[in-house]
Amino acid sequence: MNGPFGDEMAEAFSDLAKSINEEDGFLWKIWTESPETNEAGGIYIFETKETAEKYMDMHAKRLASFGITDVNVKIFAINSRLTEITNGPVN
């Protein structure tokens, strides 16, 4: 991704961020960016693997419509006990 980043990214993607809140099973997202490597993304938490997969499929198509095709997606389970020790906001 060739930008925008920082405050410009926050402004440009605020409607996208609001729309993500409406997705089935969505709980939260941490937005990530690296202007030095032209990368952006995030860590998403969904209620179930199925809702994460559904979102992943839809979002990959949406990104492709923006011209972003080099997308790296991985789905992981959460180890709640360890996450609680390190103050992660999940139960």
Q: From the centroid of its chain, how far is CA 4?
A: 16
pTM across the whole model: 0.82
Cα-based distances in Å from 76 to 10, 18, 63, 73, 87: 26, 24, 21, 10, 18
Task: Give the pLDDT score at 69.
Answer: 82
Segment holding 40, helix H or strand E: strand 39-46
For the chain, what are the domain ranges?
6-85
What is the CATH number that goes with domain 6-85? 3.30.70.100
pLDDT in tens, 12-71: 999 989 999 999 999 999 999 999 999 888 999 999 999 999 999 998 898 889 888 888
Tokens at 13, concatenated: 């993607």
Task: Give the pLDDT score at 71.
Answer: 84
